[in-house]
Amino acid sequence: MGTSKFNQILLLFFHLHLLQISCSVFVHSKKQSNLSPTIMFELKSQQIPSGSIRRPTSKLPFHHNVSLTVSLLAGTPPQRVTMVLDTGSELSWLHCKKTPNVNSLFNPLHSTSYSQIPCSSPVCQTRTRDFTIPASCDPNKLCHVLVSYADASSMEGTLAMDNFQMGGSSIPGTFFGCMDQGFSSSESDSMTTGLLGMNRGSLSFVTQMNYPKFSYCISGRDASGVLLFGEVNFAWLKPRSYTPMVKITSHLPYYDRVAYSVQFEGIKVGGKILSLPKSILQPDHTGAGQTMVDSGTQFTFLLGPVYTALKNEYLAQTRGKLKELGDPNFVFQGAMDLCYRVPLTQKSYPVLPTVTLMFKDAEMSVSAERLLYRVPGEVRGSDGVHCFTFGNSDLLGVEAYIIGHHHQQNMWMEFDLVQSRVGLAEVRCDLASQRLGLGL
């Protein structure tokens, strides 16, 4: 799905600032033999075994507000860049300065290791096939790439290659988009923030790094977190529940083959399982209805019939506890129409029914403050407007279930690319950062 998604971005230092809140193309495995046993990613790293090659576990802290962002170095000499962490996108990109007097994130003219990819390159011709819009040839015979997102934002430019650095670890020859044109709901985001594509595509950052797995943990308390590449074996971390990734190799019009898709099996509200036909929770013959774990989207979106069933049950179970907004014309972010009035003087919510998303062999429970979100700037008399943090995909024109990062807070999220599974474990992410020595 991607960036700027529904006006949200993620940062890799886990500086969470949604690009509207999730790193290249490697044809072969990169054996980084020049690395020391321990690699420092902003703070520190821990070496762990991975197959026959000992790969370091790399840790990066991050912060978030609407998106998750991380801080990297790009080019030679290195330029510091901020990128949104997006498990729903493939191509990483930076806003590039190619003309004078233009603000940008990255200046390729100042990098001696920067190179542009010609449209005749096999990378341009074959490795962009999973893009929503395949690459083309620009007037200069360079590989032209364009990425677009569900909130109607888009970026376009040239496929390029340069060196990236993460905590002292050099990642040479990484493919990314050097973007110089685009439309964003927030121009400041497009100029000052890039995107770190982290899905399973051949040009994604994690694929190019050739790490077998990565994990992240988002704190709901202090807008911080950690992104970690490599194995995770910490005594304080609860055992993960693993749900297998769903893979469909056929080209279907509404199916993203390189997304982190999981099998959605149902929803519980306050312990009550909603009556939903299994067929509506699975992709149909067009690919519509897949369930994607997406750090590039803030909230969670469900297909219309499932959203309606959840909304009605939540209304029934909160009647008398919460006061409905009563404004049928107010829809937050164009897809979230269940909103409440909460007194500005009220410091906490009443006890609310937990909403549990059920996947094959794993569950994700959403409770307390993660169930409601105060809409900035919206006041009705002496009340603030707080909206239910689930939305209707149909209103966005998206044919999929999207599990956003807001509901991944205080969950250890592990993406195992070798065994093709997603691991979940409840954890206090602020304490996890401290235990990993990030000091956030």
Higher confidence at residue 291 or residue 152? 291
Give the DSSP letter string of 382-404. Answer: TEEEEEESEEEHHHHT--EEEE-
In the prediction, which pLDDT does 104 show? 66
* Mean pLDDT, range 211-229, rounded to an integer: 81
Closest CA to 335 of 86, 8, 2, 87: 8
Q: What percentage of the chain reaches a pLDDT higher than 90? A: 58
Predicted local confidence at residue 225, as pLDDT: 78
Q: Which residue has the higher pLDDT, 348 or 171?
A: 348
- Name the 3-class secondary structure at 222: coil
- pLDDT of 96 above 60: yes
> Does the active-site annotation cover 284?
no
State mean pLDDT over 344-372. Answer: 96
Domain with CATH 2.40.70.10 in the chain: 10-229, 242-408
Q: What is the pLDDT of residue 187?
A: 46
pLDDT digits (tens, 9 = 90+) for 11-25: 233 333 322 222 222
Q: What average pLDDT does this structure show over 405-412?
A: 93
pLDDT at residue 224 greater than cutoff 90: no
Higher pLDDT, 419 or 225: 419
CB 1 within 8 A of CB 256: yes
- Mean of the per-residue pLDDT values for the chain? 81
321 versus 148: which is more confidently predicted? 321
**pLDDT of amino acid 39:** 26
In this prediction, residue 50 has a pLDDT band, given cuts at 50, 70 and 90, of very low
The distance in angstroms from the start CA to the end CA of the chain is: 30
Q: Taking residues 65-85, what's their average pLDDT?
A: 84
Distance from C-alpha of 281 to C-alpha of 135, rounded to nearest angstrom = 33
At the fourth CATH level, the homologous superfamily of domain 10-229 is Acid Proteases (2.40.70.10)
Task: Give the separation between CA 401 and CA 276, rounded to whole angstroms.
Answer: 14
**CA 281 to chain centroid:** 22
Catalytic residue among 256, 294, 416, 430: 294
Q: Say if residue 360's pLDDT is above 90.
A: yes
CA distance 10 to 3: 9
The more confident residue out of 189 and 419 is: 419
In the prediction, which pLDDT does 261 show? 98
Question: Does the structure show a pLDDT above 80 at 166?
Answer: no
Q: Kindly report the CATH class assigned to 242-408.
A: mainly beta
Closest residue by Cα to residue 423 from 251, 237, 144, 222: 237
User: In degrees rounded to 5, what are phi and psi of residue 199?
Assistant: -80, -165
294 catalytic? Reply is yes
Bridge-based pairing of strands 383-388 and 339-343 is: antiparallel
Which amino acid is residue 87, in one-letter code?
Answer: T
Which pLDDT does position 98 carry in this prediction? Answer: 66
Rounded to an integer, the average pLDDT of 313-337 is 95
Residue 359 pLDDT > 80: yes
Q: What pLDDT is attached to residue 151?
A: 65
Identify whether 49 is preceded by a cis peptide bond (ω within 30 of 0).
Answer: no
Task: Tell me which of 86, 130, 189, 256 is the catalytic residue.
Answer: 86
Q: 82 CB contacts (<8 Å, ≥6 apart)?
A: 11, 13, 15, 17, 69, 70, 71, 105, 192, 193, 194
Q: Which of 338, 348, 347 is nearest to 389 (CA)?
A: 338
What confidence category does residue 436 fall into, taking pLDDT thresholds of 50, 70 and 90? confident
Q: How far apart are CA 316 and CA 20, in angstroms?
A: 32
pTM here? 0.84
Buried b (16+ CB within 10 A) or exposed e, 423-436: bbbebebbebbeeb
The pair phi, psi for residue 197, each rounded to 5°, is -75, 125
